[in-house]
Amino acid sequence: MPAVSKGDGMRGLAVFISDIRNCKSKEAEIKRINKELANIRSKFKGDKALDGYSKKKYVCKLLFIFLLGHDIDFGHMEAVNLLSSNRYTEKQIGYLFISVLVNSNSELIRLINNAIKNDLASRNPTFMGLALHCIANVGSREMAEAFAGEIPKILVAGDTMDSVKQSAALCLLRLYRTSPDLVPMGDWTSRVVHLLNDQHLGVVTAATSLITTLAQKNPEEFKTSVSLAVSRLSRIVTSASTDLQDYTYYFVPAPWLSVKLLRLLQCYPPPDPAVRGRLTECLETILNKAQEPPKSKKVQHSNAKNAVLFEAISLIIHHDSEPNLLVRACNQLGQFLQHRETNLRYLALESMCTLASSEFSHEAVKTHIETVINALKTERDVSVRQRAVDLLYAMCDRSNAQQIVAEMLSYLETADYSIREEIVLKVAILAEKYAVDYTWYVDTILNLIRIAGDYVSEEVWYRVIQIVINRDDVQGYAAKTVFEALQAPACHENLVKVGGYILGEFGNLIAGDPRSSPLIQFNLLHSKFHLCSVPTRALLLSTYIKFVNLFPEVKTTIQDVLRSDSQLKNADVELQQRAVEYLRLSTVASTDILATVLEEMPPFPERESSILAKLKKKKGPNTVTDLEDAKRERSADVNGGPEPAPASAASTPSPSADLLGLGAAPPAPVGPPPSSGGLLVDVFSDSPSAVAPLAPGSEDNFARFVCKNNGVLFENQLLQIGLKSEFRQNLGRMFIFYGNKTSTQFLNFTPTLICSDDLQTNLSLQTKPVDPTVDGGAQVQQVVNIECVSDFTEAPVLNIQFRYGGTFQNVSVKLPITLNKFFQPTEMASQDFFQRWKQLSSPQQEVQNIFKAKHPMDTEITKAKIIGFGSALLEDVDPNPANFVGAGIIHTKTTQIGCLLRLEPNLQAQMYRLTLRTSKETVSQRLCELLSEQF
């Protein structure tokens, strides 16, 4: 209950509370409460007007009864009347009653709002404080509508007392959290930032909480707060504990304010160099103080000191720009890994997971691998062990993958059931990602199934099958290994699935060994059949029919199994149907038909690991498991060699084939374009950035695509862009493939086609959006639909902007959509060609160019380029057999333009003369320019 002065002691309330406490039963309590409610109701309805003290007392009793869990349906008006009192204790009880019992739909809300407005206008700091507390406690939308415009004025007014400023800041924060759309941004936003310089640290603390929340949604409005926050933080961390006596907590100066300032700075990227230098000094001071001996042995001192330290480390990780600080932070956290306090060990492991994603501190994190492994084995708290697993996963790279995977497998045998599935997924991902020798990968996954088969999801065994099918070099070993594993007396069903699939595809690779002859393979699999579930039995039946194709000598044995009543009359319709169809297929089909129907599975085109997708789904976005995606691409000397290619892509022979081999595959899931409303997008938004100049070599790549439609358009160490296009008359479709060559996610990935005004008029381009996140090693596809409206000379520019490891990337290339792509070849006889040639003899219709040969003058290559250019190559038309002539029609939406070309090579002079005649001068000029560049 609120403190009251001695003269205001409510004896009747004290007696009532004593009576309630002395009740021997629930019935006695209810009886006493009902008696009191009747008395209060009669007092409120009586003819005699109650004084302020009596109202306050009875309202207090009603409030106490409500807090005991009983409904109160009267007394609200009397509480509202108390708001107009000039006595603090009466007004306080009125506001307390309203804050607890009055809901936002009450008919009294208008009266309450009027009373609050009067108190806010009174300039009495005590009354203003009560009113602000009431607004914040109720926090309804109606309150926000009534006061969201007034409170900012009180907050920034020069004559407002410090205690009222604190209340106003926190009240505004409450309203913004409940109804952000009703809090108007205005002139007050620039003034509230300067509260960070206020002399009263209570005001600064409240203002920092408010600014941090506002800056998350409106970063531009509050970006000036960065320098002020750094300045205030600097003054705090460099002060002695005696300088801020009122705000020093167990020898730690203003720890709560320090934490809030550090969180505010995490809303923004690293500041300008001048401010950054001062901030770096602050962070170094915090790290230095962490090394000092404690000034008190009490836990409050270490808690306050560590709270500031961990928030400083979070800021260092967020900025990810100071190698020295990152390494120091890692070393400091390493000391906590062996601390006796469980919470500190947990927090240290969690923070080091994030540090492992930085290229600057990854190596420093790896030095603690033995400590982390020891924590995995000895920690009593399961949550700490789980963080240790996360950290091992995050610090894993090619140099330590086998050690970490082995330790995880060892721990898996005794791991808590709640985290086994997650560990299985992580082991599967690491084994695939860092497998140099894929025999090790197969051994690891089979061992995983043996140890924790119940927790091996379908995605894991699907993935191992995909990789075995995609890698010829591991198929024989996989078949031999699963055959040996299946010989164990007890096999997990997932192992039977993997064995059935792999032996059905590649059992022939080990059939030459008498110990694994076809009949032995079949008998081994069939011995597991009766122990398996229906889906596994269905898979084994498919394996049996594959055996019929692979091993004709066991055909009769398999037909007997399929013909048995347990199969043909099986209660499960799926098994029955498979048995009937497979039996019929093996009976009536010829050897050639069987070989065609049951041929070996083709390589899987899928790029992204389904296991990784499952792990992200299990853990949710922005969790520690996403750190693998956020890792910097490290140089070869960091990881002890170049990163291996993703296993699923191993069958592709070259970068271009790797990229363009998926042309027939379904497009990647298309997500909406990134919203501009989120914090990270707003703060780090790259949309205002200017379009980058064309990438080096863009013109040469563009020229290579004039006579071809497929290939790699651009490639650097991060990104590969491939094209696959097709054109017919005036329409075309282009598939653009964006390949992430790194192990790190591309964020805010935004490709944009840029056309000049003239080009937009003559060329219509329609694109589909691309997923803004491109995972490491993955590829996304974008489709561009093209329509040639009229002839054009320029080419569109493809601009790609994205974030890689915290760095903004901006790439521009010319997209090879040229006029000749809309060529349709036309066959013509010699007489028709020269007749048409003479008709196009006016100077405006002919363009001629004599130029030096840039490439060897090879006849076959020249023919291929003319055909690739789009025209028909006409044989035996020109009297000189060394010359090349072609004919075609340029199709646009508005017209069709006939085109004839003649290329005359001079081998001795290493020169060409190219003549083009069309019915339109601009078309002749453009086609001549494009074709001249090809020879």
3-state secondary structure labels for all residues of 388-436: HHHHHHHHCCCCCHHHHHHHHHHHHCCCCHHHHHHHHHHHHHHHHHCCC
**Average pLDDT of the residues in 644-652:** 35
SS3 assignment, position 902 = strand
Neighbouring-strand partners of residue 901: 886, 916
Q: Is residue 480 very low, low, confident or very high in pLDDT (cuts 50, 70, 90)? A: very high
- Any binding-site annotation on 893? no
- Any binding-site annotation on 100? no
pLDDT at 454 over 90: no
Q: Residue 616: its pLDDT value, please?
A: 64
Q: Is residue 652 very low, low, confident or very high in pLDDT (cuts 50, 70, 90)? A: very low
Structure tokens given for 115: 């009373």
**Average pLDDT of the residues in 91-105:** 82
3-state secondary structure labels for all residues of 793-816: CCCCEEEEEEEECCEEEEEEEECC
Mean pLDDT lowest among 20-34, 43-57, 434-448? 43-57
Q: Is residue 581 very low, low, confident or very high in pLDDT (cuts 50, 70, 90)? A: very high
Which of 98-112, 449-463, 630-644 has the highest average model confidence (pLDDT)?
Answer: 449-463
Structure tokens given for 203: 């005001």
Distance CA 763, CA 740 (A): 30
pLDDT at 912 over 70: yes
Q: Residue 654: its pLDDT value, please?
A: 33
pLDDT at 404 over 50: yes
- Any binding-site annotation on 171? no
Residue corresponding to tokens 């995983």: 448
**Average pLDDT of the residues in 860-888:** 85
Strands 911-918 and 884-891: unpaired
- pLDDT tens track for 106-138: 677 888 888 889 998 888 899 999 999 998 988
Cβ 557 vs Cβ 522: under 8 Å? yes
For the chain, give the percent of residues with pLDDT over 90. Answer: 19
- pLDDT tens track for 376-392: 888 888 889 889 999 99
Distance CA 279, CA 273 (A): 10
Q: Is residue 102 very low, low, confident or very high in pLDDT (cuts 50, 70, 90)? A: confident
In 3D space, the residue among 318, 401, 406 whose CA is nearest the CA of residue 355 turns out to be: 318
Side-by-side strand order, sheet with 763-767: 710-715, 719-728, 731-740, 779-788, 763-767
Q: Residue 2: its pLDDT value, please?
A: 44
DSSP 172-201: HHHHHHH-GGGS--STHHHHHHGGGG-S-H
- Any binding-site annotation on 48? no
- pLDDT tens track for 151-190: 888 888 888 898 999 999 999 999 998 888 888 887 788 8
Q: Residue 633: its pLDDT value, please?
A: 38
- Any binding-site annotation on 632? no
- Any binding-site annotation on 26? no
Distance CA 698, CA 716 (A): 12
- pLDDT tens track for 16-31: 999 999 999 999 999 9
Mean pLDDT lowest among 1-5, 477-481, 659-663? 659-663
Type of residue numbered 236: I
- Any binding-site annotation on 561? no
Residue corresponding to tokens 């922005």: 622
- If you count them, how many residues does the chain have? 935
- Any binding-site annotation on 217? no
pLDDT at 205 over 90: yes
Distance CA 118, CA 851 (A): 90
Cβ 554 vs Cβ 522: under 8 Å? yes
- Any binding-site annotation on 43? yes
Cβ 662 vs Cβ 606: under 8 Å? no
Distance CA 27, CA 32 (A): 9
Cβ 647 vs Cβ 470: under 8 Å? yes
**Average pLDDT of the residues in 527-552:** 91
Cβ 347 vs Cβ 355: under 8 Å? no
Type of residue numbered 709: N
The answer to whether the Cα torsion of 348, 349, 354, 360 is positive or negative is positive
Cβ 663 vs Cβ 605: under 8 Å? no
Mean pLDDT of the chain: 83
Q: Is residue 607 very low, low, confident or very high in pLDDT (cuts 50, 70, 90)? A: low
pLDDT at 364 over 50: yes
Strands 252-253 and 911-918: unpaired
Q: Which parts of 102-161 fold into alpha helices (H)?
A: 109-121, 125-138, 141-147, 151-156
SS3 assignment, position 53 = helix
**Average pLDDT of the residues in 331-355:** 89
Type of residue numbered 644: P
- pLDDT tens track for 215-274: 888 888 888 899 999 999 998 888 776 667 778 888 888 899 999 999 999 998 888 888
Q: Is residue 709 very low, low, confident or very high in pLDDT (cuts 50, 70, 90)? A: confident
Q: Residue 47: its pLDDT value, please?
A: 66
Q: Residue 3: its pLDDT value, please?
A: 45
Burial bucket for residue 505 (CB in 10 Å: 0-12, 13-18, 19+): buried
pLDDT at 745 over 90: no
Cβ 582 vs Cβ 570: under 8 Å? no
End-to-end CA distance of the chain: 94
- pLDDT tens track for 655-680: 333 322 333 333 333 333 333 333 32
Q: Residue 524: its pLDDT value, please?
A: 92
Q: Residue 453: its pLDDT value, please?
A: 81
Type of residue numbered 557: T
